[in-house]
């Protein structure tokens, strides 16, 4: 069974109710859930999704480039294929990783530290 935050992220739905859409455009979160009214404005995953996407895509693209080179593909073909695959993977994975990090923030009630937290 998939844990609730990951299921909500896979479906790109509100992590609170699982019904409302999470994104209003490609990577822009909605201000709130249209189904339950949950306010999404305080949550910010920052650059976190990009970091994880780069790690995953790098782990896939690097062996792909080596395999193409070992298979005898011309260098320009190997680079072109690898860049195209890496670009497509990045574009496909960014919304998923952003939704996942947002859903995990929501579940664990993560927020930005304030002055009162330091004292």
Number of domains making up the chain: 1
Residue 117 falls within a domain, yes or no? no
Tens digit of pLDDT per residue, the chain (119 long)?
A: 677 888 888 999 999 888 999 999 999 999 999 999 989 887 778 889 999 999 999 999 999 999 999 999 999 999 999 999 999 999 999 999 999 999 999 888 877 767 777 76
The alpha-helical segments, DSSP class H, found in the chain are 4-11, 48-70, 75-107, 115-118
Residue 19 falls within a domain, yes or no? yes
**What is the reported pTM?**
0.85
Domain with 23 in it:
4-108
Nearest alpha carbon to residue 63 among 53, 78, 80, 84: 78
């Amino acid at each position: 069974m998939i844990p609730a935050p990951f299921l909500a992220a896979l479906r790109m739905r509100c992590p609170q109710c699982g019904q409302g859409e999470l994104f209003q455009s490609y990577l822009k979160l909605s201000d709130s859930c249209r189904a339950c009214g949950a306010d999404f404005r305080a949550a910010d995953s920052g650059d976190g999704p990009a970091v994880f996407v780069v790690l995953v895509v790098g782990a896939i693209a690097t062996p792909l480039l080596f395999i193409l080179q070992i298979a005898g593909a011309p260098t320009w073909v190997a680079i072109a294929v690898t860049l195209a695959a890496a670009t497509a993977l990045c574009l496909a994975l960014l919304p998923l990783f952003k939704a996942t990090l947002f859903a995990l923030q929501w579940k664990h009630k993560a927020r930005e530290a304030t002055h009162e937290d330091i004292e």
